[in-house]
Structures are given as C-alpha cells and as structure tokens.
Structure 1
Amino acid sequence: MHFELLDKVYYGNTLMDYMISLGIFILSLLVIFIVKNVIIRKLKLIAQKTSTSIDNLIVELIEKKIVPFLYLGTFYFSMQGLKMAPAVQKVFTVSVSLLLTILIVRAVSVLLSVILEQRWASSDKNASRRNAFRSLLTGIQIVMWAIAVVMLLDNFGVNISTLVTGLGIGGIAIAIASQAVLGDLFSYFTIIFDRPFEIGDFIIVGDRMGTVEHIGMKSTRVRSLSGEQLVFRNTDLTDSRISNYKRMENRRVVFSIGVTYDTDIALLKEIPLKIKSIIESIPLTKFDRSHFFSFGNYSLTIETVYYVASSDYNVYMNIHQDINFRIMEEFKSMGVKFALPTQTLHIVPDKSSSSLLSAS
C-alpha cells in the first residue's frame, strides 16, 4: 500500500522522485551549512592571525559570493531528476543561466577589485591615481557585463552575429570620430600608471615650465613661474621629452670665478682650497672639485663644482648665495681682486715721426 502511494504520478513525476529530489536538496544544504559554519569560520580565524589582509578578503569573497553559487548549484542539481513540462524547463534553464552568469560576473569583478585595490590603489596616496584605478576597474566591469550579456543571448538562441557586426562597425566609426579624445584618454592612463610626473612636480616641456596642478583625462594643467596656467594635451606630454626636477635628488652646480692677472701665484693656488672649505662648511652640500680652469681674455678662471642635496630651487639659491657672500669675504681678506672686462692698450711710437721731431 505504501509502495503504491510512492509510485503515484503527480505532474509527470512519482512521489518517490519528489522525495529523492528533496533529499538531495536537504543533504546539499547540510553540506553547505557545514562549509559555511565550520570550514569558513576556521578560515576566518586563520586569516585573522596573518599580517596580510588579502586572505581576509578572499575568505569574505568565498562567504559572500561563492556560497550563493553553491545554493544555486544545489537547487539546480536537485531538480535534474524531475521531469518538467517544456515551458517550465525553459523558464527554469533561463533563470538558472541568468543567475549563474550574474554570480560569476560579480565574483570575478569583486576578485579583480580586491587584487587591484591591494596591488595599487590602497597603497597609493595619490588621489588622482586612485581615481584612475577605479575608472579602469569600472571600464573592465562594463566590458565583463557586456561579454556576459552576449554569451547569454547566444545561449538563449539569439543570432548575435548581426549584433556583433553592427557593434563592430559602430565602434570603428566612433573610434575614428573621437580619435583625438581617445588618444588623450589612453595617454592619461599612461601618465597615471607610468608616473613620469605627479601633481606638485616641477617639469619642463620644451620651452615651457611650471608646477603640475591637475592631471585630467583630456589635459594636464601646469602653473608657470610667471603665474599663468598652461594647458597641455595628454598626448602632447607623452610624446614629448619631459624634465622632472621634483625627482632630482641632488642638484649639480657649476660656477666660475675670474680673478685678475696680477694675482700672486701663491694666492691663486690657495683659492681652490678656500672655496672647498667654504662649501664643506655649509649644510646640504657636497663638494666635488675646484680648479684653476683657464686663462681668459681678461681673467684667470677658477671653476668649481658641488652638489646640493635638495630639489627645492629656493634651497639651492639660498646655499649658492651664502657661498658667494663667503667667497667675497675671503677674497677681501686675502687681497684677491675679481676681474672686470678690461683691455690694455700699448702705444708704440713711430720711428720716422720721432726723427722728424728731433730734426725740427
């Protein structure tokens, strides 16, 4: 009697089929419960003991994205043993495919976001670069969703060849029409990721120079020394040779001093030693060399090289001014004179004129 009841058919399936399907579903839920409350909990405890945060994010990803996928898989496989009407089967298959696609895309998107945040964005203090990372991530997510939609339409029997061809032709037309804008956009990402300069850096591009104030998707704005704002296309910057003085750790300084030709040789030998002692006594400087360099048109030239351990131009000027003051003081105490542009004219009397004057 009981076995006859189990063999009764309801909506194309026996009661035994429904019970087996229900048993598979309940057993799978039990397995998921163990995974969620035992295994994942232990993984959380292990992740909390580590110094890195990436494992915590992975465990959180498993709990929030992978576990719902397991629930969907449980429901899908428990229903496979049942016979369904064609319309119901189609609705069931479409619904499962749609939910599965959404779960996969969201899981991959979250995983990619975690990797990018941990690798670049979270460790970067530059706000514009963090925004660029997020913009890039948004673009990647849009592409992923677009691919997922096309794959879903293809699985549902929609002919996507015409759609893809139309999108390809339209994309080419848009790319040609907005070539300059897209070029600046790609140059923007090049600047952000390659970091040839950052906001606050002092750069020289051709004959233009100034401090970077803003890096945008289309253009970069630079404040010149005279006060006006210079606007560069990002493509122009990536195609140009840029001098970045903010990245300069040591500034090399070369300067020359001219003394008069009547300077005593003993004093001339002493001048490089005096200049060396002056530079070495000033903080943030590193002496390189000082030599009697050449015989000039009106002076004996002393050339000196030293380094300033700062990229700040004002620091360099203050140090160089201090050196100049001390050199003047030393030269004054030594009796050494700076050479000025002078010419000595030698007049040789004509012999014929002298003889005529003596005869007269």
Structure 2
Amino acid sequence: MLNYKHLMFIFYMLKPSITYAQAKDESHLDLLAFIETELSQFFPQAKTLFLGTASWRWGFAVLSVLILLLMKRFMLTKLLKWFRVLSGKTENTFDDQVVELLNKPLSYLLMIIGFYGSSKWINLSESLERFITFCYRISLIILFTWFLACLIELSTKFLEDLAAKSSSTLDDYVVPFVSRIIKIATYSIGGMLVIQEFGINVAGIIAGLGVGGLAFALAAQETLANWFGAIMIYTDRPFEVGHWIKTSQFEGVVEEVGLRSTRIRTFAQTVVSIPNRQIAVDVIENFNKMQKRRISLKLGVTYETSPAMLEESVERIRDILRNHEEVDQSFWLVKFTDFGDSALEIFVYYFTLTTNWEEYLSIKQEINLRIMQRLKAIGVEFAFPSMSIYQAVSDPEQTAKLDAQARRLFSARAPEVVDRRETMTAPSESNADG
C-alpha cells in the first residue's frame, strides 16, 4: 500500500520543480535522501556519479524534459482551444488572430522554462550555473520582445484595415508612423534589458540618448511640429479630404493630409501646401459642415417710391420667402432699413435648406427674379447709383412758417413714452453677407 512518502516520490518525479530541486531546508533534503535511497534499492547504479552528479539526478533531468515535451502539445491544445472559444464570442477577428499568435511564444516559453528547470537537478559549478541563469534570462527577454513586436505588427494590420474604410487619408499615414515608433521603443527597451544582463550600466546609455534626443529634437523641431500637427488634425478632425475649407490665408478643397503638410486645391485651380503645424493653430472655417446656407442682400428702390408702395413691396417679398419650399422657415427677415445716398434700402435675410453651391445659386436667382417681377407689377423701380443736382431757391418767409409749425407740433406732444423692447443678438453690418 502506498504511503505518504511514496506519493511524494511519484509527484516529485512528474513535477520537476525548481524550488524542490534547489531546496536547502531540512525537510526537502530528507525527501531527496529518501528518493535516492528508494532508487538505489532498485537501481544500485543510481548513486553513481557522472560529471559530479548522481545518475538518478541526470535521469530526473532527462525525464523532466521528456514529460514536458509530451505534455506541451496537450497543454497548448487545451489552452488555445479555450482561448478560441472566448474569442469566437466576439464579432471582430482581431482576438482570433491574437490567439493564433500565442501558439509559438507559449511553446517556446514552456521549453525554456522546462530546460532551465531540468538543469537544476544537476550539480553544476557556480560559474556554469550563473551562465545557464544568464542564458535563461536573456531568452525570456528576447522571447517577450519578439512576442510584443508580433503583437504590434498584428495590431497595425488591424488598424490599417479600419483606416482604409474611413474617408480620411490621414489615418493611413498616422497608423504606420505610430506603429513604427512603438516598435522602435519596444526593441530599444528589449535591447537595454539585454545589455543590462551583461552588467553594462544602462543609466549612462539612457543619459547619452537623452542628450542626443534633445539635439535631434532641436534640429528637427519643425518636422516634429508638423508630425504632431498631423496627429492633432487626425484626432480633432476639423476637416476631411474633399471638404471646402477656409483658413486665414487660403480657401479651397482639401486634396490630401500628409505627415508634413496639407494640400488644398484653390478655386483658381492651384495647389497650396500648408504645413500641419500652421493648420493646427490656425482658425479654420469648414463650409461642408454647414446645415443651411445664408443669403443676405439689400434692395434699393428709387426715392419716388411712396410709403404705401414701399410697405407693399416689403410684404410681397415676405410672401415670396414664406411660400418658397427651399427657404428655411425657422428664421428670415425683410425690413425697410436705410435711406441710402441714392435709394431706399430694403434688407432681405434668409437661409436656403441646401448647402450645395450650384443649388444655392439657383434658389437665389429664382427668388431674385420673383422679387423683380412682383415689384415691377406695382410700379416700383430699382435704384442705381446716381446724383441729382438742384438749384436751391431760398424763401425766408416760408422757412419761418415751417419752423413755427414744427415748434407747435413738438410742444403739443404728450409726455415722453418709454418703449419696452426685447434685446436681440444680430450680426454686424459687415458680416451680413452669406
């Protein structure tokens, strides 16, 4: 019948634990002595030394490797199968690709740990043991660096597929650029960890790289500013390729957004390249994001127009806007506003529902023609810049009569009436055009 020590013996054979193999406390030394005693009863040669280590320890080391190699395929198959079940519950294929990517790194990881663990069964010299530990640590660093690089490459392909579906071309440049930076950082950190294992002071290298990076940043500050400007344009998205925009200096349609500059096709059909650092800090007006389009104009009619004719003209223009299906009915204005130098001015202000330029112009033309027709029907004529010269004839008696009449009318007025008015925000005169 198996007792406790026999069970521990079987477990110890199947699990090549580094902790047990390197144990120095009394209980584990007793267990090692027990294993050696039990084995020597069946195999007297178990205590035979080979390269300074008992034969049974060499056997356990080889057995540990064989068991690991036999179980590695089974363990990976079960583990990856469980991961595939989890990733299969999602709609995207990125996590499925990550699971497939784990196959080789996990396989190499188990082999490295297994070989390192099996070496602990053997009585090695201190220098050889340090060398094996050194190789073990280097292997782990290289393995994890390689896995992260593969994961970054996989993420880059996934993000590039998403970028290809977007209308903007900026992300097509940004994704590889950022991926390249992350890869360089990953390899640099991995390389520094490897160098540190050789006993080289990494702090001095980092300090040197800091000084070199500062010099590089100063030399390429404009290029870096353009790169960061491209990232800001991508994240903030004030415009996209194909949008009609206006900056403080240029106006046109965006053709391309690169890492260094943004190209705009002006309405004169020239191409302007604007550095991204300038675009990032400039005021940008995006006409493609208009929900409706404004029309503002002043109609001048002649001074021969009577007040009644002017009131009828205003109402007729209001009827035109009120009944037009392409005019936004939420807000429009038609008011007689000014006595101009050569005309009585009617202010017309409204919005079209469309933002398309050609449709906008067609609506404006149609309304203008209707206004001309409706005003001409009541005999109202449009004014044009002109100058009338009159020969003044002074009549002192008539002037005195008119002055006396004005004084009587003013004195007969009721006390001052305080008007109650609502405040209203309105555009300035210089900003009235659409």
TM-score by length of 2: 0.70
In the alignment, the residues of structure 1 paired with residue 313 and residue 286 of structure 2 have an alpha-carbon distance, to the nearest angstrom, of 41
* Distance 1:295-1:247 versus aligned 2 partners, 3 A rule: closer
In the alignment, the residues of structure 2 paired with residue 252 and residue 67 of structure 1 have an alpha-carbon distance, to the nearest angstrom, of 67
* Distance 1:203-1:351 versus aligned 2 partners, 3 A rule: closer
Q: In the TM superposition, what are the counterparts of 1:25-36 in structure 2 within 5 Å?
A: 25-36=65-76
Deviation digits for residues 89-128 of structure 1, max 9, x if unmatched?
4553343333322221233344455556657862552343
- Which of 118, 129, 133 is residue 93 of structure 1 equivalent to? 133
Kindly indicate whether the alpha-carbon contact (under 8 Å) linking 2:328 and 2:351 is maintained by their aligned counterparts in 1: yes
Is it true that 1:205 corresponds to 2:251 in the alignment?
no
Is it true that 1:296 corresponds to 2:358 in the alignment?
no
**CA-CA distance at 1:145 after TM superposition:** 0.9
Q: Which residue of 1 aligns with 2:371?
A: 327
* Distance 1:286-1:71 versus aligned 2 partners, 3 A rule: farther
In the alignment, the residues of structure 2 paired with residue 335 and residue 52 of structure 1 have an alpha-carbon distance, to the nearest angstrom, of 71
Return the structure number with greater strand share: 1
Q: In the TM superposition, what are the counterparts of 1:134-173 in structure 2 within 5 Å?
A: 134-173=176-215
Is it true that 1:305 corresponds to 2:350 in the alignment?
yes
- Which of 264, 289, 293 is residue 222 of structure 1 equivalent to? 264
Q: Percent identity?
A: 23
Secondary structure of the structure 2 residue equivalent to 1:223: strand
* Distance 1:269-1:244 versus aligned 2 partners, 3 A rule: closer
Kindly indicate whether the alpha-carbon contact (under 8 Å) linking 1:275 and 1:327 is maintained by their aligned counterparts in 2: no
Kindly indicate whether the alpha-carbon contact (under 8 Å) linking 2:169 and 2:257 is maintained by their aligned counterparts in 1: no
**CA-CA distance at 1:81 after TM superposition:** 2.3
- Which of 137, 142, 145 is residue 102 of structure 1 equivalent to? 142
In the alignment, the residues of structure 2 paired with residue 184 and residue 231 of structure 1 have an alpha-carbon distance, to the nearest angstrom, of 12
Kindly indicate whether the alpha-carbon contact (under 8 Å) linking 1:258 and 1:301 is maintained by their aligned counterparts in 2: yes
Q: Which entry has the higher C-alpha Rg, 1 or 2?
A: 2
Aligned residue identity for 1:305: Y
> Unaligned stretches of 5+ in structure 2?
1-39, 397-434
Kindly indicate whether the alpha-carbon contact (under 8 Å) linking 2:352 and 2:360 is maintained by their aligned counterparts in 1: no
- Which of 62, 69, 80 is residue 40 of structure 1 equivalent to? 80
Deviation digits for residues 260-319 of structure 1, max 9, x if unmatched?
4332534432321122213x2x3xx52321322413322241422113333x43342233
**CA-CA distance at 1:46 after TM superposition:** 4.8
Q: Which residue of 2 aligns with 1:238?
A: 280
Of 146-155 and 253-262, more deviation after overlay is shown by 253-262
Aligned residue identity for 1:338: F
Aligned residue identity for 1:185: W
Aligned residues: 347
Of 38-47 and 206-215, more deviation after overlay is shown by 38-47
Is it true that 1:72 corresponds to 2:112 in the alignment?
yes
Is it true that 1:349 corresponds to 2:389 in the alignment?
no
* Distance 1:296-1:28 versus aligned 2 partners, 3 A rule: farther
Aligned residue identity for 2:367: I
Q: Which residue of 2 aligns with 1:11?
A: 51
* Distance 1:35-1:324 versus aligned 2 partners, 3 A rule: farther
Deviation digits for residues 185-209 of structure 1, max 9, x if unmatched?
2222222333223322222221321
**CA-CA distance at 1:351 after TM superposition:** 5.2
Kindly indicate whether the alpha-carbon contact (under 8 Å) linking 1:253 and 1:307 is maintained by their aligned counterparts in 2: yes
> Unaligned stretches of 5+ in structure 1?
353-360
Secondary structure of the structure 2 residue equivalent to 1:200: coil
Aligned residue identity for 2:61: S
Q: Which residue of 1 aligns with 2:361?
A: 317
Q: Which residue of 1 aligns with 2:32?
A: none
Kindly indicate whether the alpha-carbon contact (under 8 Å) linking 2:170 and 2:230 is maintained by their aligned counterparts in 1: no
Secondary structure of the structure 2 residue equivalent to 1:206: coil
Q: Which residue of 1 aligns with 2:382?
A: 338
Q: Which residue of 2 aligns with 1:191?
A: 233
Is it true that 1:53 corresponds to 2:53 in the alignment?
no
Kindly indicate whether the alpha-carbon contact (under 8 Å) linking 1:275 and 1:290 is maintained by their aligned counterparts in 2: no
**CA-CA distance at 1:336 after TM superposition:** 4.2
Q: Which residue of 1 aligns with 2:31?
A: none
In the alignment, the residues of structure 2 paired with residue 110 and residue 293 of structure 1 have an alpha-carbon distance, to the nearest angstrom, of 72
Secondary structure of the structure 1 residue equivalent to 2:295: strand
Deviation digits for residues 238-272 of structure 1, max 9, x if unmatched?
12112222333333333333344332534432321
Let me know the Cα RMSD of the aligned residues.
3.0
Aligned residue identity for 2:258: G
Aligned residue identity for 2:351: Y
Aligned residue identity for 1:6: A
* Distance 1:14-1:272 versus aligned 2 partners, 3 A rule: same
Secondary structure of the structure 1 residue equivalent to 2:44: helix
Of 39-48 and 222-231, more deviation after overlay is shown by 39-48
